[in-house]
């Protein structure tokens, strides 16, 4: 009898230890997920406080994401050199401190710098956490563990904008960053208590040529996208220099990776079909994931006057849709062919984007809520099968590096599409302003009714003309947002047929 009790007790202890590790890593991931969406709800308020333009204020989001994308591939080297526990401790600590500094920023330049620090410190958190989860649980339980782990990705976007919106409206935008400090401290305590070192440290060589060329290529390309519309693209020498620099750096990175014995990122991983396809799907997933929650706050607050708290609730509703998607996967959706669930997820995002592109200037709260919720549901249904497909053919020794590349591609996709959609919104908005303003002249028959219908919109008088100009700007920018949503939904629909190229092992 005693011989049976000890194995049962050991099994329970191991299960409890694994559960503690999973909860800790979920909290760590939630901390990172909060940082991605936390600033979005207060972007218009930050824009006014720091006297920034629409494309300049977007740097707060894109530069943080790109810092994460650049820092993510170093996770494998950092883990081998310093150990996963030490990397988590220093990353969570640096992330918490930089969050505190973001709340103290007095200029746009300072805030962008602190957001870069925040993104760089947070870069190892998702891939390292995911690698530890995969390493901790047996293969038959990885699907359920990933579903629980994904709750961190879900709860962050729910809590951050909802609570942050009320804090921003009640106090100021600085509190959306201050609120992350207690979460950072709780995460640090969990890491100290439950995460243990595994394996000996190794003086792994870092391929500095590959790393620096990748950093330069990504940074130059992102800056070109962020500032291209403002600087008139290739008619400006700065954009030309960035484009040339990005191409040269990318060429160096690719050729060096293919010829080096120990490259920064191992190109041999791309020979595995599911992993290569998974990276493509992850890039498209990144394109779609954060774009709506970057566009919607500015649309609702600038064009419709919604307060921060209401916008926060809307973004939180999106998170509840994602939560439902993860719950479905946890309760049995992971047993379905992952290609079908990914197809359903991308299809839902495409449908959501299509209806967002049909918004009128007088859109209602219900219009925004159900489309945001549907888009969130699609995100929840994609994440788990995406990770299953991507890592299904990787060995345990390849998981850490594979996860780093996976999150690099996903984050890079997010920053790229945010910049592209903002450029589409600004350019087409300006074009439509020029088109609409051509109808503002005394010969337009609509102004015959100016005394009754256009009491404040008239070509007679400076104040009325200014008011009319503001309304034309609002209408033109609304069309710009709709065009951005069209780009979003077309991207989601376009990837759907290619999902079935992935191979699924028949049980």
Residues of the chain with pLDDT under 50: 1-2
**225 token code pair:** 């996208």
Rg (CA), the chain: 24
**464 token code pair:** 């009325």
CA distance linking residue 156 with residue 48, whole number of Å: 26
The pLDDT value given to residue 181: 86
User: What does the DSSP 8-state code read for residue 362?
Assistant: T
The pLDDT value given to residue 354: 92
Say if CB 297 and CB 426 are below 8 A apart. Answer: no
CA distance linking residue 113 with residue 108, whole number of Å: 9
User: What does the DSSP 8-state code read for residue 199?
Assistant: S
Helix, coil or strand: residue 21: helix
- The phi, psi pair for 418, rounded to 5°, reads -60, -45
User: What does the DSSP 8-state code read for residue 206?
Assistant: P
Instruction: Please enumerate in sequence order all residues whose Cβ is within 8 A of that of 86, keeping only pairs 6 or more positions apart, or say none.
Output: 197
DSSP codes, 90-115 = HHHHHHHHHHHHHTT--SHHHHHHHH
What ranges in 236-359 are assigned the alpha helix state H? Answer: 237-259, 273-289, 291-298, 304, 308-331, 338-356
CA distance linking residue 190 with residue 68, whole number of Å: 22
The pLDDT value given to residue 154: 64
Instruction: Please enumerate in sequence order all residues whose Cβ is within 8 A of that of 367, keeping only pairs 6 or more positions apart, or say none.
Output: 355, 359
Phi-psi region of 460 (alpha: psi -120 to 50; beta: other; left: phi over 0): beta
Which single residue is written with the structure tokens 């809520």? 369
The tens digit of pLDDT for each residue in 390-444 reads 877 777 667 767 777 787 788 778 778 887 888 888 888 888 888 877 777 666 6
Phi-psi region of 25 (alpha: psi -120 to 50; beta: other; left: phi over 0): alpha
CB atoms within 10 A of CB 354: 17
**112 token code pair:** 């962008």
CA distance linking residue 401 with residue 323, whole number of Å: 28
CA distance linking residue 55 with residue 41, whole number of Å: 16
CA distance linking residue 372 with residue 352, whole number of Å: 7
CA distance linking residue 502 with residue 385, whole number of Å: 11
Burial 20-59 (b: 16+ CB within 10 A, else e): ebbbbbbbbbbbbbbbbbbbbbbbbbbbebbebebbbbbb
The pLDDT value given to residue 347: 92
Helix, coil or strand: residue 389: helix
Half-sphere exposure of 477 (CA within 13 A, CB side): 18
């Amino acid at each position: 009898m005693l011989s049976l009790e000890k194995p049962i007790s050991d099994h329970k202890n191991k299960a409890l230890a694994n559960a503690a590790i999973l909860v800790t890593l979920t909290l760590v991931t939630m901390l990172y997920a909060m940082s991605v969406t936390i600033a979005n709800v207060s972007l218009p308020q930050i824009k006014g406080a720091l006297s920034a333009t629409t494309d300049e204020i977007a740097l707060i989001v894109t530069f943080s994401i790109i810092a994460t994308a650049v820092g993510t591939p170093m996770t494998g080297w950092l883990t081998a050199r310093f150990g996963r526990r030490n990397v988590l401790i220093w990353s969570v600590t640096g992330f918490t401190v930089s969050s505190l500094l973001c709340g103290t920023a007095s200029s746009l330049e300072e805030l962008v710098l602190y957001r870069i620090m925040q993104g760089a410190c947070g870069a190892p958190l998702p891939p390292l956490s995911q690698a530890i989860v995969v390493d901790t649980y047996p293969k038959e339980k990885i699907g359920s563990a990933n579903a629980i782990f994904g709750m961190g990705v879900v709860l962050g976007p729910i809590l951050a904008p909802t609570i942050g919106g009320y804090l921003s409206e009640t106090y100021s935008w600085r509190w959306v960053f201050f609120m992350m400090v207690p979460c950072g401290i709780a995460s640090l305590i969990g890491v100290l208590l439950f995460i243990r070192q595994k394996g000996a440290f190794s003086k792994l060589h870092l391929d500095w040529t590959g790393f620096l060329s990748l950093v330069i290529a990504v940074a130059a390309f992102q800056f070109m996208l962020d500032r291209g519309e403002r600087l008139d693209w290739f008619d400006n020498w700065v954009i030309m220099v960035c484009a040339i620099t990005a191409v040269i750096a990318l060429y160096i990175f690719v050729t060096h990776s293919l010829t080096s014995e120990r490259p920064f990122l191992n190109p041999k991983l791309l020979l595995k079909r599911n992993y290569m396809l998974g990276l493509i799907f992850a890039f498209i997933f990144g394109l779609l994931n954060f774009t709506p929650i970057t566009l919607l706050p500015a649309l609702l607050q600038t064009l419709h006057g919604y307060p921060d708290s209401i916008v926060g609730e809307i973004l939180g509703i999106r998170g509840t849709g994602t939560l439902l998607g993860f719950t479905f996967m946890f309760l049995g959706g992971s047993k379905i062919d992952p290609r079908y669930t990914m197809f359903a997820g991308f299809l839902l995002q495409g449908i959501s984007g299509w209806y967002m592109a049909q918004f009128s200037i007088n859109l209602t709260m219900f219009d925004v809520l159900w489309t945001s919720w549907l888009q969130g549901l699609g995100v929840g249904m994609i994440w788990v099968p995406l990770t299953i497909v991507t890592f299904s053919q990787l060995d345990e020794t390849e998981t850490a590096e594979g996860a780093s590349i996976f999150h690099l591609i996903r984050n890079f996709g997010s920053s790229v599409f945010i910049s592209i959609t903002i450029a589409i919104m600004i350019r087409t908005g300006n074009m439509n302003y020029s088109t609409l303003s051509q109808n503002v002249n005394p010969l337009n028959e609509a102004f015959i009714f100016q005394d009754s219908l256009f009491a404040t919109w008239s070509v007679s008088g400076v104040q009325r003309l200014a008011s009319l100009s503001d309304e034309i700007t609002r209408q033109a920018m609304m069309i710009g947002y709709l065009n951005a949503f069209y780009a979003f939904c077309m991207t989601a629909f376009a990837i759907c047929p290619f999902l079935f190229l992935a191979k699924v092992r028949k049980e």
